[in-house]
Amino acid sequence: MASEVKRLITRALDSLAVDGLLHAAGQDEPLPVRVVLQPVADRNKSYLEGTETPLGGYGQNYGIGYLPAGEESLAMQADDWLETAGEQWRVRRREVFSLRGEALYLWCVLTKEEDDGGTV
């Protein structure tokens, strides 16, 4: 049952996701990942009204990322960073959701990074 649920979740996330690169500590090369990025106006409330882009919002400094559980995405840790849709996002927190010991998907709290590595 867990593998069927994982397959359905992966399929749903992949249908909404964009390609990204995970720059993980200890990795020589960036890891290819698929990520659904939900920009948020602040740390507590979602802001998806007004101008929308394929990523769901525009001009936000915080985001929530959703990734299918895979070898590459499971390598993600806090302080790693994601590069997607021409933007860089720092991973502040990540959680893995599992069912019966099988990882189904990950979600992470992200902050937008400037080109020099500083937070926006």
Model pLDDT for residues 9-65, shown as the tens digit of each residue: 999 999 999 999 999 998 999 999 999 998 886 544 444 444 444 454 445 688 999
Of the candidates 16, 60, 67, the residue with the CA atom closest to the CA atom of residue 39: 60
pLDDT value at 66 more than 90: yes
The dihedral built from the CA positions of residue 57, 59, 64 and 66, taken in this order, carries a sign that is positive
Where residue 119 falls among pLDDT bands split at 50, 70, 90? low
Q: Is 42 exposed, middle or buried (0-12, 13-18, 19+ CB in 10 A)?
A: exposed
Total tally of structural domains belonging to the chain = 1
- The answer as to whether 118 is a domain residue is no
Instruction: Give the pLDDT of residue 46.
Output: 45
- The answer as to whether 9 is a domain residue is yes
| CATH code of the domain in which 12 resides | 2.40.10
